[in-house]
Structure 1
Amino acid sequence: MNIIQLRKIINSYLSGKAASKEKQLIDQYLQQAWENRQAPDDTEIQRLLVLDNLRNAMRPRMYIRWISAAAASLLLLVTAGTAWHYSEELEEWVHPIPMKQVYVAKYRVQKIMLPDSSVAILNGGTLIEYPATFHGKHRTVKVNGEAYFDVVPDKHPFVINGPNLRVTVLGTSFILTDSMQTTKPAVSVKTGKVAVSVASITQQVGAAEELVYDLQKNQINLIRQQEIDMDWITKSMVFDDNTLQEVFTTIEHVYHVNISCDNDNIRHQRFTGAFESTDTLEDMLRVLSVSYRLHLTKHNNSIVIR
């Protein structure tokens, strides 16, 4: 029996369309495992063991032995009385959904449309990972950085996993700030309500509220009547006390131009500000020129600053 046949049988079994002999054989192993069950008490441990055993059983080099290993794994599910609880994970492994990744460079802001038409606006330095299509009981994405979400209401919960926080919603808008570098990840809710999980604790956060988790103190703070800073979500570039050289470099990457400046005094000056998505290259250069009394010469895609 090869891996393709195995996948077909599992698909048929999960959908209730397996041939009588196939169903009888798997049911036989399920019954045997029920009678000789040795499943751990911890549900999450059961889940991990089941999925790991199933994946091992479905490797191409496993031929006739697959039915014993796969069935034994399925039987662990029955020992917990939740065989169908894991059918989603099994089906997703048999038919993996392609994942997409979007990384937004520093000082940039980017808007993306998720498969369910929910909107995510990513701040600079943020990475998001999500499936090409949402499938199953949850709409799950991963975020490392800062992102604003406007989630389309749906019966399937929308779940965002960050390095430190897990946010679950049905339909709402909020900002998640959570990365490997931050010491105080936070969730700021604009509309609706979200459930934020930190370790084993889950806290409800409503509109105009902000949850801040202090990693060093292992402490959760809920701030009510909080004004949510959303100015950055309408911008295309955001700078906070950055050097003009960093500003020039960002503009170069965005507009595919070459900016040269030999004056160290100019390049090391600091800039705090943001540019709207509707601002053109000329608008940005004009702002910088007036603010720092710069002399700009533009020829085709080359810009010289003095």
Structure 2
Amino acid sequence: MKDYFRKYLEGRCSEDEFLSFINLFLKADKQKELTKNMEEDWKSVRANKKTPDLSPTLHKIHFEINKQEKSENKTRKIVTYLTRIAAVLFIPLAVAFFFTVQKNTSSDVKNQTISTPLASKTNFELPDGSMVYLNAGSSLSFPEKFTGKKRLVKLSGEAYFDVKKSKQPFEVETSELTVNVLGTAFNVMAYQNTLPEVTLERGKVVVNTKSNLQKTLQPGEQAVIDITANTISVNNVETELFTSWINNRLIFKNEMLGNVVQKLERWYNISIEIDNEPLEQKRINATIEYESISEVMELLEITLPIKFEYKKNERKLLIKSSRP
């Protein structure tokens, strides 16, 4: 095994050795060498009957990713490499995350908040055993222990909940609505400047708005809340289109480009501007998994009459019509 490969895995390689390691992933003629090195490392791990803990390395990679807004140009290039490596090396762990814990000293029950920056996501277990998948640019606050008459969590952004059944009702609160359940699986999307959505995969939930509107959802239904019009519309949907992100996929089916761009901005932590308003209405069918943003844009160029350019100084993608 190449020495720099081992040094990287142990977190002690120099800058030159790090760049050599990067080349294994970026150059096609290095793929055989990469495969050989990984196989050797895997055999070594199995021989020692030890499973490597990749969490510290993963945390380090995504910590560097989250600093890129303040980095110089050279650092940004390396961070781009790191983003691609995170997708390749850590597929089993590729729910990138960064979290903070906040203590509430004014109450007997301590609260904590888990947050994910843009281009990151995570999953974790709540004190009652319920599972939460937190999407990019989101945060969830909850007590260290659920007491009282209900299990209350507060969400900003988007999260998927798989709630453990209990006689103690579970409630998700956002700035515009609350969702009440006993035991179920559902997705709540409540980013700023978007219409809140609640998508039910199984079980039953009750959606309540701050203006006292209420709707009960059955599996396969989605509630869209229009705060300005003070309405809740309920439609049957393919729930996978709204929950696939927890499996590191974005699925678009007859989706308008304007909506797609909003999700891509959060997914890749990059600003995207469409300079032609009619283009926002163009419809897209696509599935995105571990593609880079440039690969996604190249796909869109094939399927739509568009072209894109990257404004490096502004860190912005500009989408234009490819027709005169």
Relative to the length of structure 2, the TM-score reads: 0.45
Q: Which has the higher contact order (CA 8 A, sep 6+)?
A: 1
Higher radius of gyration, 1 or 2 = 1
Relative to the length of structure 1, the TM-score reads: 0.48
